[in-house]
A and B are shown apart, each in its own frame.
Chain A
Amino acid sequence: MLLPFIPEVGHFALILALMMALIQAVVPLAGAATRRPLWMAYARPMALGQFAFLLVAFASLMASFLFDDFSVAYVANNANSQLPWYYKATAVWGSHEGSMLLWCLMLAGWGCAVAGLSRRLPAALMARVLGVMGLVGSGFLLFVLLTSNPFTRLLPNVPGEGADLNPLLQDVGLIIHPPMLYMGYVGFSVVFAFAIAALLEGRIDAAWTRWARPWTNVAWAFLTVGIALGSWWAYYELGWGGWWFWDPVENASLLPWLAGTALLHSLAVTEKRGSFKSWTVLLAIFTFSLSLLGTFLVRSGVLTSVHAFANDPTRGAFILILLGLTVGGALTLFALRAPRVSQAVTFGWLSRDALLLVNNILLVVMTVTVLLGTLYPLILDALGLGKVSVGPPYFNALFVPLTALLCLFMGLGPVARWKRMPARELWRRLAGAALGAVVLAALAPLVYHGRWNPGVSLGLLLALWLVLSLARDLFDKLRHARSPGAGLRRLAPAYWGMQLGHLGLAVTIVGVTVVSNYNVERNVRMAVGDRVQLAGYTFALRSLDKRRGPNFVADVATLDVSRDGERRFTLHPEKRLYLARRMPMTDVALRPGLLRDLYVAMGEDLGDGAWALRIQYKPFVRWLWLGAALMAAGGVLAVADRRYRRGRGAQRCNDEVVTS
């Protein structure tokens, strides 16, 4: 009965969500400015309502996909009746309109979480935070409704079959990558809203940072996972074995991550020492602005292959206006109100404060480096200085030394004390770690590969320096306790979060270093019965077959892999042809391992029963993503810290007093 109207239900729900977002934006902010509790009280119900209606809209779109309603243009363009049901469900965010809807849903979801979890927030602060989030949400809902409506119908000529989801996106990595990434992007809207609220109130205190920090950590952890998933997806889906391309879309996600990392550390200083206040606020604005900029760059088509795909200038213009209003408004407010929140605190040039300041500067420099590299072609073009593209050599040349410097200070930071740290004591505590790192890093390539390699040694030096200084710090903390067990119990989750996060970076650095230097790759021509040797493994092509999948046909190769004459396992790389779009795709055969991946991709049919195959040996490549997972876990673990919950406990006591 209701089935034919599902898209309209979704459309109306979307409009209602916009109305609620507008009320959430206007009434509580006005209420906070004029001190009217009733107006401020609108914030929470509206946040809940906006989320509920967006959920309805999202579910409607998903239902349209599941029921193959090709009268909806977005469904017709991104699905096909042959598509397996799970890809139908996830095709919702397979293209522009649906991903923007997901973006809005998540923004509302974060708003809802703030409304639900930060109940103890002072009413005015809550009203302002949710009000700002409502403003951002209204902007994006308007964008969806006016320029990218996913519910537009193709009437009266309904296509009989859909164009299918882009085969690149028919993959488990792509099911979870965009939601994670968006959760990160959008999650930074919370700390942005907190920053704007603080500017409006003209006050930042320790309580403010205690409220803002957990949200930042969680958003950052989501973004970390999202970036890692994207890299993992590119690794096995594109068939080249690359894991980072410095392409504008990747940079767009790295920018808020770098700024967000700086923000995490700056928030720590603000909470502990009450300093860096205006800097923290500025970083919060930057981080979310870079998330929006990323959305703009990806969605407007400004930087992607401009002439291959039709880009929609109205959408680009709309996002640019949104970006201008949000960021311009925030920075204007910052210029006007920042003097009110800042506070001077002194510290010595060698102290944790100073080291975190250096960390912040380095991270901001890295952000600017990536930003400039990404926008350079655009800027030169606008200035009429010709057109160029900037690529990996530029990024690597600047990013590697900056990372090295960052790691140097990262080793010192956790060991140093706030306010002042005598250089001699710092040296005494870390000399062992430094010496150990140098010796081990110098020897490791010799042991692992039989030949010295300066690149590998440098990478390992950084990683070992991080790990050893972390271990030394842990050792010092436990040595002063009565027993190691008692010492371990006394350490707060926030401390373990820091340890885990820094360890994660070390693990990632090891992965990057080893796989970049010891990767072995061969492009070979193979017929049935041919054998190829690579890094101690023998690959023998046993057979070439054909296979039919739900919406594709595939050539399948079967390779027996042996080592030392002993057969170990078989690999089945595929070359698929997706029927609806006539698009060929490489399905890589992977043998993952903690210390190495074996990677076989089918190239093309060379005739006479021979195929071109790309065989790769990728040592330590898993460490890249393992490190990212550790970093994300660290970010989340730190949220479990007692001081972020203490407030809620106190609230419960107050409630009891009131009720008894």
Chain B
Amino acid sequence: MTRRLLLLVPLVLFAGLAVFLYRGLNHDPVGRESALIGREFPAFSLATVADPDVRHDASLLAGKVTLVNVWGAWCPTCREEMPQLMALAEQGVRLVGVDYKDTREAATEFLDTLGDPFAVNLFDPDGTLGFDLGVYGAPESFLVDRDGIIRYHHTGAIRPENVEQEILPRVQRWRDD
């Protein structure tokens, strides 16, 4: 009898897996919580899009509340998001871009046509920083406070309503803090 039950184990395991696959099929990628919230921004050392000889590390984020935006010229959603990022930059939010799995050429053309809201644009062609951030794809945004701690994570495009309702209040809150 126990042997019989043992033979059912693969079926049960598969049924469990199928449930997860089903959930995965229906999951909503927007608004997922990052495991990194409350943690320090991961260490990195990356060149900028503008100049391969200029490198930055995590100290770039110290001292000022910053919105780190992971984007790529290959990503159509990032295109939609640019006007909102421009608006945020106009409101005085400091933006740092992470150009994710992209080429400098495409990125430069992208910024030339759509505008460049970023104070600094880090160049991450292999997706190493994106990986450390647990990024699934682009765009994703991380709000980092003055001490370099990740405070908020936004998945997918920042829509016009998100600017007023979510991003700006949080920037203000961590500035005051």
Q: A: which residues have CB within 8 A of B?
A: 240, 242, 278, 282, 285-286, 289, 296, 300, 302-309, 313, 316-317, 320, 323-324, 327-328, 331-332, 334-335, 338-339, 375, 377-379, 381-382, 386-389, 391, 523, 525, 575, 583-584, 586, 603-606, 612
Expressed in whole angstroms, the Cα–Cα distance for A231 and B97 within the complex equals: 30
User: Quick one: which of B74, B125, B131, B155 contacts A307, CB cutoff 8 A?
Assistant: B155
Contacts of B53 in A (CB 8 A): 525
Q: Give the residue name and chain of the B residue nearest to A391 (CB).
A: B131
Q: A328-B18, A388-B35, A388-B134 are in contact. List 17 more A-B contacts (CB 8 A).
A: A242-B126, A282-B10, A302-B24, A307-B77, A307-B136, A307-B156, A308-B74, A320-B18, A335-B4, A375-B17, A375-B20, A378-B24, A379-B20, A381-B23, A382-B19, A584-B105, A605-B105
A387–B105 CB distance below 8 A: no
Contacting pair B21 A389 (CB below 8 A): no
- Say whether B138 contacts A305, CB under 8 Å: yes
B137 within 8 A of A: yes
B58 part of interface (Cβ distance < 8 Å): no
- Are B7 and A302 neighbours in the complex by a CB distance under 8 Å? no
Given contacts A306-B137, A307-B137, A387-B134, whether A604 and B105 have CB atoms under 8 Å apart is: yes
| Cα(A289)–Cα(B21), bound, Å | 14
Pair count A-B, CB < 8 A: 126
Chain B residues with CB below 8 A from A286, complex form: 10
Least Cβ distance of B26 to chain A in Å?
7
| Cβ–Cβ < 8 Å partners of A525 in chain B | 52-53
Residues of A contacting B30 in the complex (Cβ-Cβ under 8 angstroms)? 307
Q: How large is the interface on B (under 10, 10 to 19, 20 to 34, 35 or more residues)?
A: 35 or more
Interface residues as binary, B1-31 with A (CB distance below 8 Å gives 1, 0 otherwise): 0011001101100110111111111110110
B137 touches A603 (CB 8 A): no
The residues of A that contact B74 with a CB separation of less than 8 Å are 308
The distance in angstroms between the C-alpha atoms of A113 and B24, with both chains bound, is: 37
On whether A381 and B8 interact (CB within 8 A), knowing A308-B138, A604-B108, the answer reads no
A307 touching B20 in the complex, CB below 8 Å, given contacts A389-B136, A525-B53: no
Partner among A240, A305, A378 whose Cβ is within 8 Å of the Cβ of B21: A378
Known interface pairs A240-B125, A240-B126, A612-B52; A382-B23 also in contact (CB < 8 Å): yes
Q: Is B84 an interface residue (CB 8 A)?
A: no
- Chain B residues 107-138 with CB under 8 Å of chain A are 108, 125-126, 131, 134-138
In the complex, chain A residues whose CB is within 8 Å of the CB of B175: none
B75 within 8 A of A: yes
Docked complex Cα distance between A575 and B105 (Å): 10
Closest Cβ–Cβ distance, residue A403 to chain B (whole Å):
23
Q: Is the CB of B8 within 8 A of A382?
A: no
Query: Is A387 within 8 A of B34, CB to CB?
Result: yes
